Structures are given as structure tokens and as C-alpha cells.
Structure 1
Amino acid sequence: MFLTDAQLERYARHIVLKEIGGPGQKKLLKSRVLVVGAGGLGAPCLMYLAAAGVGTIGVIDADTVSLSNLQRQIVHDTENVGMLKVESAAKSLARINPDVHVIAHREKLTAENAEVIIRDYDIVADGCDNFETRFIVNDACHNVKRTLVSGAVGSFGGQLSTFKSYELDDEGVPYPNYRDLVPDAPPAGMMPACEEAGVLGALTGVIGSMMALEAIKEIVGAGTGLAGRLLIFDALDMRMRTIRLRHDPANPLSGEKTSALT
């Protein structure tokens, strides 16, 4: 694979980085990343993946753009209110980078279609806003052996981790997955929805951009990923910390006594 003159200029700031260089940029152009949700987290993630030259970007979302989305979902704009989010996002990504092939999945990710869709990608970036979908994405990524970059936000805080529970860490123990962090969904009503609690728009940009960053690092093999660690960000106090995540032998998906989830 040869980089064209236009690509050499477009990705020049990547190519001069020794951690990426020409070989890393070629990996990006050959890679396939699925973004779950074209909302607050998915929007900046999609834009930075496209700008980075990820060759194929899938986006799955069944929702349409509403005016209240625009405070944080920066891949959409006012003229696209009422349009399917995946179509709006595809238009924006085409403007950012014509190198990118966008696959718009105009549907909801379900337990029935998740593995079929996810197995066509190298990495999944999950920015969805509900626990049901998070569990579905996590379980499918584990079963078809795909790396999952997962981000989440509250009103003024966010978190980020990478899950690859189909691999062993340096101690020979499986890396944790999302069910090691959240074994069960909280009771209904315990976690207020975004429209009830509110969310700082720029916060979703921070976490969504970090999701793209972690996906890019995984693709090119640069630095230390977040597998086995959870990054926690407090926007009000502008503090960030990283804690260790460990595999739970009782994990219903990947533990010693697995259930019908597998």
C-alpha cells in the first residue's frame, strides 16, 4: 500500500510521529472501527477517527437528530435536525475526509444482530447511553474477540476503559470486561437519563475524543492502552485518575462458572 501525495500531506503530522509514522498511518487506513451511537460521545469520536484516516468507520444508531442534541453532538448541525443520525454523521465525515468509507447501520444494536455486525470490524467504540446496550456490546465483543473501547459520562464526570477479555494480561489472567466493572444494571430510575440530569456538552467532547485516541493507539500499537484500567475524569475539579480493574472469577460472561450468556 502506497500513500498518495495528498495523503502524505493530510497525515503529515501523524507520519512524523515515531510512534505512528508511515506504517502506522497505513494501518489506520486499512482498519475498520464501529462506533456505537452517534450522540454526545460518538460524535467527537467519529470526527477524530475520520480525521485520523481510519479507512472504514461504521456507525450504528436508530435515532434522529433533534435540536436538543446540538449542544453536545457536534457531528450534527442545525440543518440536519430530523435526519437519521447515521446519515447526518456520514455527511459530516465525508466533508472531513474523503478517504474514509462510512457504513451507516440504520438500526438498533440488539442481542440478535450484535455479533453479526461487530465481527466485521477490528475495534468497537461504544458511546451508547444505556446499560442494556452496553452489556450487549460487551458480550458480543468478548464472544467474537474484538477490542472494545468504552466511554461514559454523567453530568460533570466521565470514565473510559478498554476491554479485551479474550486476551490474557502479563500475569496470565484474562483482562476484565465491562461486566467486571458493572456486574448488573442499576435498578430502573436509579440512574437519571441525560434529559433529566443534564450533561455538560464539552465533557462529552473530552471523553469522546479520548475514545478515538484509545482506538487509534490500539490500531497502531502506540503507548499503553487502558485494558485492565479505568480512567475517571472530574470536569468540575479538573482532576483525572486511573484505577486498576481486575477480572472477577465469578464474572457471568468470562468467569470460571460461565452462564448461558456465552
Structure 2
Amino acid sequence: MSALSPDEIRRYARHIVLRGVGGDGQQKLRAARVLVVGAGGLGSPAIAYLAAAGIGTLGAVDHDTVSLSNLQRQVIHRTDGIGLKKVDSAGAFVSGLNDRVTFVAHAERIGPDNAPGLMSGYDLVLDGTDNFGTRAVVAAAARAAGLPLVSGAVSMFDGQVTVFVPGGPQFSDLYPDTPDEADLPACEVVGVLGAVTGVIGTLMAMEAIKLVTGVGEPLTGRLLLYDGRAARFTELGY
């Protein structure tokens, strides 16, 4: 790996002096290629903190455009960006925050047919999509590709995050049965507090950074639940 430049040393100074990360960890972040599926409520804080951390190549998959109702929680998008493709809006945010990050926009809907190609060339996947069917597709594709997956979900005042790694417990272990769609109402129907997506999306970025640098213990085989109203975290094994 090439040495960090003087500008990088200044930018990432708080990482470089951090025991367990240091210059070696920052170089690992710079070399990493991370794909975020969904540039919405969860993808926004994840993209923001991964870009700030200096992930070398950051990809985002999203077919949608920015709308006014997104702005209550999708914090990388702006009022003057309404109507833009979310991945283009996200790219503008990333370039403004950290021009050393290479951003790759994938303006398409992920599905069984294109998921393997979208994940090709990446080291790690984050899933911030908002429906069970897509999350199952992303998990299956990541597993087939042998890629670690950080998975998050939110609803109303609550959220959850976990990590799937090759050889460890997988999405099918956490969800052996496909839940009824009636039991999983969309945020458009039941709502979601914007700050909850910030909590979970930031935790997803944290898990990704841990996986890249090797720092700490990732949430493999553990589901971290967040109750926003009670300000309480609960951990379940699977």
C-alpha cells in the first residue's frame, strides 16, 4: 500500500491516533470497495460516514429519485435536489465531503438477475433497502459471492442491525420462514422517526468500518435491536 499523503494524514488524524486503527487501518479503508444498496434513510448516514472515513471506492445502488417526503430522514439529499436520481444526489454529497473517495452510481433496481453483477468487484455490502423481498435477494447474492453483508432495517421508532459473514450464520438462519407482508407494513403506511434511521445507518457504517479494519467484534450471529422510545438496545442471538 502507498503511504498516506500529508493531506490524508491531516484529514484522518483522529483515526490515525486511534489505537486499533492507526495508519494501517486507514490504508485498509482507502483500499476498500464498499457497496451500499439503497441511498435512502439507512443508506444516507451509512454513505456519509463511510465517505468521511475514507473508503476508497463507495458504490450506491438505487433506482429512485429524491422527493420532498424523503428529506425528513434521508440527510444526504437536499431540497434543491428534488427530482434528481438518488445515486446522483448521493454522489454530489460524497464529492463535496471527501473528494478522495471514488463514488460509483448504480441507478437501477437491484434484483436476482443483476445483483451478482452489481456486487462484482466489491469487498463488502451494506443493505439499507426497505422491504423483505429485496433484503432476501441482497442477502442471497452476497452469500453466493462470498461477501460480508451488513443488514439494517427500521420501522416507526425501532430499528435493527446485524452482520452476515461467509461461513457464519446467514439471513436464512435469522429468517427461516418468509414473513407475511401484512406483518411488515411499509414506512409510507406506519411512518418512521427520521432520527431512528440515523441511529441504525450509523451503526451499519460502524460495522462496515470494523469489518474493513479488523477492529473489534462484528455483529455476526447477533441481532442488535433498538427501541427509540425507551432508549434501549437489546441483543438476540441466532
Q: Distance in 1 between matches of 2:118 and 2:106?
A: 9
Residue 93 of structure 2 is matched in structure 1 by 92
Residue 180 of structure 1 is matched in structure 2 by 173
Residue 124 of structure 2 is matched in structure 1 by 123
1:228 matched to 2:228? The reply is no
Q: Distance in 2 between matches of 1:19 and 1:154?
A: 34
1:130-141 to 2 correspondences below 5 Å: 130-141=131-142
Asked whether the 8 Å contact 1:42–1:208 carries over to 2, the reply is yes
Q: Distance in 2 between matches of 1:201 and 1:238?
A: 15
1:132, distance to aligned residue in structure 2 (A): 1.2
SS at match of 2:182: coil
Q: Distance in 2 between matches of 1:184 and 1:98?
A: 43
Structure exhibiting the larger radius of gyration computed from Cα positions: 1
Q: Which runs of 5+ in 2 are unaligned?
A: none
Residue 170 of structure 1 is matched in structure 2 by none
SS at match of 1:189: helix
Runs of 4+ aligned residues of structure 1 deviating over 6 Å after TM superposition are none
| Structure 1 counterpart of 2:197, one-letter code | T
Residue 152 of structure 1 is matched in structure 2 by 153
Residue 172 of structure 1 is matched in structure 2 by none
Residue 40 of structure 2 is matched in structure 1 by 39
1:240 matched to 2:233? The reply is yes
* TM-score, normalization by structure 1: 0.89
Asked whether the 8 Å contact 1:119–1:146 carries over to 2, the reply is no
- From 205, 211, 236, the equivalent of 2:204 is 211
SS at match of 2:184: coil
Asked whether the 8 Å contact 1:218–1:225 carries over to 2, the reply is yes
Q: Distance in 2 between matches of 1:191 and 1:229?
A: 21
1:66 matched to 2:59? The reply is no
| Structure 2 counterpart of 1:219, one-letter code | V
1:188, distance to aligned residue in structure 2 (A): 3.1
1:202 matched to 2:195? The reply is yes
Paired-residue identity, %: 50
| Structure 1 counterpart of 2:103, one-letter code | V
Residue 19 of structure 1 is matched in structure 2 by 20
1:56, distance to aligned residue in structure 2 (A): 0.3
Q: Which runs of 5+ in 1 are unaligned?
A: 168-174, 246-262
SS at match of 2:84: coil
1:242, distance to aligned residue in structure 2 (A): 1.3
| Structure 2 counterpart of 1:209, one-letter code | T
1:216, distance to aligned residue in structure 2 (A): 0.2
Q: CA RMSD in A?
A: 0.8
Deviation readout 1:115-169 (Å, 9 max, x if unpaired): 12113110000000011111111011111100000000110111100001x32xx
Residue 30 of structure 1 is matched in structure 2 by 31
1:187, distance to aligned residue in structure 2 (A): 2.1
Q: Distance in 1 between matches of 2:115 and 2:51?
A: 23
Q: Distance in 2 between matches of 1:53 and 1:228?
A: 27
1:181, distance to aligned residue in structure 2 (A): 1.2
1:38, distance to aligned residue in structure 2 (A): 0.4
1:223, distance to aligned residue in structure 2 (A): 0.5
1:185, distance to aligned residue in structure 2 (A): 3.0
* TM-score, normalization by structure 2: 0.98
Residue 8 of structure 1 is matched in structure 2 by 9
SS at match of 2:207: helix
Q: Distance in 2 between matches of 1:117 and 1:233?
A: 30
SS at match of 2:181: coil
1:240, distance to aligned residue in structure 2 (A): 0.4
1:142 matched to 2:135? The reply is no
